[in-house]
Amino acid sequence: MPSRTVVVGSASGLHARPAALFVSAAAAQPVRVTIRTGDGPAVPAGSILSVLALGAKRGTEVTLEADGEGAEAALDVLADLLVRDLDQEPASSTETAGTGA
Amino acid sequence: MPELTGVPVSPGWAAGPAYRLTEPPPLPAPRPVTDPEAELARAAAALRAVADDLMRRSEASSDRAAAEILVAQAMIVRDPVLEDSVAAEVKAGRDAAHAITAVLAAYRAGFESSGGYLAERVADLDDLRDRAVAVCTGVAMPGVPAPGVPFVLFARDLAPADTVGLDLTRVLAVVTEEGGPTSHTAILARSLGLPAVVRCPGIRDVADGTLVRVDGAVGAVSVGVDEQTVAATGAQEQARRSALAAPAGPGRTADGHPVALLANIGSARDLADPGVPVAEGVGLFRTELLYLDRTVAPSLEEQIATYAEVFRVAAGRRVVVRTLDAGADKPLPFLAQGREPNPALGVRGLRLSHRDPSMLDAQLTAIAKAAAGMDADVWVMAPMVATVDEASRFVDRCRAAGLARAGVMVEIPAAALRADALLGVVDFLSIGTNDLSQYTFAADRECGELAALLDPWQPALLDLIGACGAAGAAAGKPVGLCGEAGADPLLAPVLVGLGVTSLSMSARALPAVRAALATRTVAECRTLAAAARAAGDPAAARAAVVNG
């Protein structure tokens, strides 16, 4: 299955605003994407509760997985969001990213 | 007309109709589920109603940060995984309210055990649960009332989640039954400049819409006032605010005795607060932010960059840096501390460095390197110092790192009692009144029931501050104060009379304190201080100063 393993880049980790942006983007993808830390269970990337519960901090390595048509493109968009420091970016640039465009 | 009294925590006058923060509903007794499909529909409808309400409030909010938080809350309620889990609970025989409660309780436990940021989000989950249960049981959702006119907010206490939705243009003042001078309610109200009174249990019986008048300086709430009083109070408050907006300058008494007025900050970002430029510097730079939520200690370079940013913005002014104030109640993952039975009495603040001084030395080195070549007047102080020996060792480490101005905080009664001996080895003292109250009165800061003990007007606390002030005067060394007590305009002249030479507070509180100091001479301040100390209790001390 196509996957991407990246390191969380946001200062606050995958929490608060970065988590909300990531989950919105994941939910907007045409394929179902999962996320996990290390060997932990894969949870739906479009579920804010599941993503928060990962407790991923800045520097935590996370793995995204998706299958089907559009999976590679979806993973690229989401992996890019994860590595950026979304806490540092002005709202306008992250909102564009959040639509998954 | 009943006159209620509470603990004053944020000065100012306000009058208008009182409305109560709707309390969370109790969880009803479980109902047997006969039609799981219908019950599931009820649960889904409740979640939808909660999400819609959050989104409505988000769109209506003028505060961008508040709006974002509400949207994030709505995302949780709309989480497809949440709905699936609720469906499973309903199929297992739980009614809608209990199914939603059970599912959120499971996430709550997970969040709580993760600690840190997630543990702080537990209140958000509780809020969502309360809202959903309210919809399921057909009662009003808890939260900030929206009567459509400016109003005085009454509440049992305010949780951070409640205050997120506070629309400043609507709330005139805040009065709570519980909470204390250092509670979330008090700190929030002061930072927003809203009049506030806490520990005022009498408001429980006041009906929604009753006209009330609040005096946040003395803690009085008049119930059942007339329209004329409302209008007069509005004019009085407006006059007070325009006086505060008058041109600023350094803090001075009426006879020109300087009292440095400084700001408390947690990061360079706080320096962007519009109140900070009028401060004469930073009296308390908390450095914990740099360490929280970290699995490894911040690197030397990162620390230098963080401190340098603050020193750059504060060029030409004083910056008092407090070294790391962490411990068992604010645990740091990389310190790997064991659990302590009494964290407030455990290994926290400077005590952490006794076991391993390397982190403190790294921090002092970073501060010294960041200060080099900068124009800021950098002072450094240690938290949680009890003895002269501890202070002396801290000063040695500061000197070794190349820091010229080294002081200690006075938060422990032992330090206040030996202030003169401490001043024999340090360059200055800074009184942290929040902790000094807690340790003097053996009263947990988080325990609302003990708030009366934590009142900064307690004569015993004033005695300890006075001991520090007298020692400072004798030694010719500065004695600052950086707790919430410094933000009380009525208390400020008393503190100066006790010998305090600088006051540090939330930037927003500075204008009121500056205005209060400007009305009193040093001699008057001393008279007021003596009167406050002679009083038997906080109420009498306040009365003595109001009438003095």
Average pLDDT over every residue of B311-338: 82
Read off the pLDDT band of B332 (50, 70, 90): confident
Contact check, Cβ <8 Å, A47/B295: no
B191: pLDDT strictly greater than 90? no
Average pLDDT over every residue of B163-181: 78
State whether residue B13 sits within 8 Å of chain A by CB.
no
Same domain? B281 vs B343 = yes
Give catalytic residues of B, as residue numbers.
Answer: 184, 482
Same domain? B161 vs B277 = no
According to CATH, the topology of domain A3-94 is: Histidine-containing Protein; Chain: A; (3.30.1340)
Average pLDDT over every residue of B214-228: 93
Residues of B in contact with A20 (CB under 8 A): 68, 71-72, 75
Distance of alpha carbon A43 from alpha carbon B118, whole angstroms: 17
DSSP B9: E
Same domain? B323 vs B392 = yes
Residue B117 has a pLDDT of: 76
B111 against B424, higher pLDDT: B424
Question: B456 and B238 in contact (C-beta within 8 Å)?
Answer: no
B34: pLDDT strictly greater than 50? yes
Residue of B nearest to A16 (CA): B72
Give B344-370 pLDDT, tens digit per residue: 898 899 999 998 899 999 999 999 999
Same domain? B330 vs B388 = yes
Q: Domain for residue B26, yes or no? A: no
Same domain? B79 vs B191 = no
Contact check, Cβ <8 Å, A50/B295: no
State whether residue B342 sits within 8 Å of chain A by CB.
no
Q: Which residues, 6+ apart, have CB-to-CB distance to B447 below 8 Å?
A: B180
A51: pLDDT strictly greater than 80? yes
* CA distance readout (Å), B459 to B88, B440, B456: 59, 11, 8
CATH no. for residue B307? 3.20.20.60
Same domain? B284 vs B377 = yes
Q: Which residues, 6+ apart, have CB-to-CB distance to B448 below 8 Å?
A: B157, B178, B179, B180, B183, B199
Read off the pLDDT band of A43 (50, 70, 90): very high
Residues of A in contact with B114 (CB under 8 A): 53, 55
Average pLDDT over every residue of B472-485: 94
Average pLDDT over every residue of B247-257: 82
Residue of A nearest to B295 (CA): A57
Q: Domain for residue B27, yes or no? A: no
Average pLDDT over every residue of B422-430: 98
Q: Domain for residue B254, yes or no? A: no
Contact check, Cβ <8 Å, A48/B76: yes
Chain A closest CA to B103's CA: distance in Å? 11
Residues of A in contact with B289 (CB under 8 A): none
Chain B closest CA to A49's CA: distance in Å? 6
Residue of B nearest to A12 (CA): B293
Residues of B in contact with A50 (CB under 8 A): 79, 81
Residues of B in contact with A24 (CB under 8 A): 75
Average pLDDT over every residue of B154-165: 70
- Is the ipTM here above 0.90? no
- Token reading at B9: 């925590």
Residues of B in contact with A25 (CB under 8 A): none
B98 against B511, higher pLDDT: B98
Question: B214 and B195 in contact (C-beta within 8 Å)?
Answer: yes
What are the φ and ψ backbone dihedral angles of B336, each rounded to 5 degrees?
Answer: 50, 55
User: How many A×B Cβ pairs under 8 Å?
Assistant: 50
Distance of alpha carbon B279 from alpha carbon B314, whole angstroms: 10
Q: Can you spell out the DSSP letters for B61-123? A: -S-HHHHHHHHHHHHHHT-HHHHHHHHHHHHTT--HHHHHHHHHHHHHHHHHHH-HHHHHTHH
Question: B212 and B197 in contact (C-beta within 8 Å)?
Answer: no
Same domain? B156 vs B187 = yes
Q: Assign 3-state DSSP to chain B and report helix, strand, coil percentages, each to 5.
A: 50, 15, 35
Read off the pLDDT band of B277 (50, 70, 90): low
Contact check, Cβ <8 Å, A13/B293: yes
Element (H, E) at B237: helix B227-244
Average pLDDT over every residue of B392-414: 97
**Average pLDDT across chain A, whole number:** 86
Distance of alpha carbon B42 from alpha carbon B420, whole angstroms: 68
Q: Which residues, 6+ apart, have CB-to-CB distance to B311 below 8 Å?
A: B319, B370, B371, B374, B375, B376, B378
Q: Assign 3-state DSSP to chain A and report helix, strand, coil percentages, each to 5.
A: 40, 20, 45
Contact check, Cβ <8 Å, B79/A59: no
Which candidate in A52, A85, A94 is best for mutational testing of the B interface (most B CBs within 10 A)?
A: A52
CB nearest B80 (choices: A13, A17, A47): A47
Average pLDDT over every residue of B434-448: 90
CA B40 from chain centre, in angstroms, equals 42
CA atoms in the 13 A half-sphere facing the CB of B396: 7
Which candidate in A49, A50, A86, A88 is best for mutational testing of the B interface (most B CBs within 10 A)?
A: A49
B165: pLDDT strictly greater than 90? no
Read off the pLDDT band of A99 (50, 70, 90): very low
Q: Report which residue type is found at A31.
A: V
Q: Can you spell out the DSSP letters for B255-308? A: T--B-EEEEEESSGGGGGSTTGGGSSEEEEEE-GGGTTT-SSPPPHHHHHHHHH
Residue A101 has a pLDDT of: 33
Domain count across chain B: 3
Q: Cβ-count burial of B63 within 10 angstroms (0-12 exposed, 13-18 middle, 19+ buried)?
A: middle
Contact check, Cβ <8 Å, B114/A53: yes
Residue of B nearest to A44 (CA): B81
Chain B closest CA to A62's CA: distance in Å? 16
Residue B278 has a pLDDT of: 62
Contact check, Cβ <8 Å, B76/A20: no
State whether residue B59 sits within 8 Å of chain A by CB.
no
Residues of A in contact with B64 (CB under 8 A): 91
Same domain? B65 vs B210 = no
Distance of alpha carbon B394 from alpha carbon B351, whole angstroms: 11
CB nearest A49 (choices: B68, B82, B117): B82
Give B445-467 pLDDT, tens digit per residue: 878 788 889 999 999 999 999 99
Helix locations, chain A, DSSP H = 16-27, 48-53, 71-83, 91-98
Read off the pLDDT band of B272 (50, 70, 90): confident
Same domain? B226 vs B359 = no
Residue A97 has a pLDDT of: 40
Contact check, Cβ <8 Å, A16/B76: no
What are the φ and ψ backbone dihedral angles of B317, each rounded to 5 degrees?
Answer: -125, 170
Q: Which residues, 6+ apart, have CB-to-CB distance to B4 below 8 Å?
A: B200, B202, B203, B220, B221, B222, B223
**Average pLDDT across chain B, whole number:** 89
Residues of B in contact with A47 (CB under 8 A): 79-82
Nearest to residue B82, comparing CAs of A49, A57, A79, A72? A49
Question: A51 and A19 in contact (C-beta within 8 Å)?
Answer: yes
The full 3-state SS of B135-189, as one line of letters, equals HHHCCCCCECCCCCCCEEEEECCCCHHHHHCCCCCCEEEEEECCCCCCCHHHHHH
Distance of alpha carbon B126 from alpha carbon B101, whole angstroms: 9
B274: pLDDT strictly greater than 70? no
- CA dihedral (B180, B181, B187, B190) positive or negative: positive
Average pLDDT over every residue of A11-31: 90
Same domain? B280 vs B427 = yes
- Token reading at B444: 């947990």
Residue A98 has a pLDDT of: 37
Nearest to residue B494, comparing CAs of B445, B451, B456? B456
CATH no. for residue B9? 3.50.30.10
A100: pLDDT strictly greater than 50? no
Give catalytic residues of A, as residue numbers.
Answer: 15
Same domain? B294 vs B413 = yes
Same domain? B159 vs B91 = no
Contact check, Cβ <8 Å, A20/B117: no
What domain range is B457 assigned to? 260-546
* CA distance readout (Å), B354 to B186, B300, B358: 34, 20, 10
CA B408 from chain centre, in angstroms, equals 22
Domain-ending residue, one of B137, B172, B205: B137
The full 3-state SS of B27-59, as one line of letters, equals CCCCCCCCCHHHHHHHHHHHHHHHHHHHHHHHH
Distance of alpha carbon B222 from alpha carbon B165, whole angstroms: 26
Question: B259 and B501 in contact (C-beta within 8 Å)?
Answer: yes
- Token reading at B363: 């921090």
User: Would residue B154 be called left, alpha or beta, if left means φ above 0 and alpha means ψ between -120 and 50 degrees?
Assistant: beta
Domain-ending residue, one of B214, B243, B272: B243
Chain B closest CA to A98's CA: distance in Å? 13
B123: pLDDT strictly greater than 80? no
Read off the pLDDT band of B141 (50, 70, 90): confident
CB nearest B76 (choices: A43, A49, A55): A49
CATH no. for residue B98? 1.10.274.10
Residues of A in contact with B299 (CB under 8 A): none
Q: In what order do the strands lie in the sheet with A61-66?
A: A3-7, A61-66, A33-37, A43-44
B164: pLDDT strictly greater than 60? no
Read off the pLDDT band of A86 (50, 70, 90): confident
Distance of alpha carbon B345 from alpha carbon B362, whole angstroms: 25
| Domain residue ranges of chain A, discontinuous segments joined by + | 3-94
B328: pLDDT strictly greater than 70? no
B535: pLDDT strictly greater than 90? yes
Q: Domain for residue B28, yes or no? A: no
Domain-ending residue, one of B82, B115, B137: B137
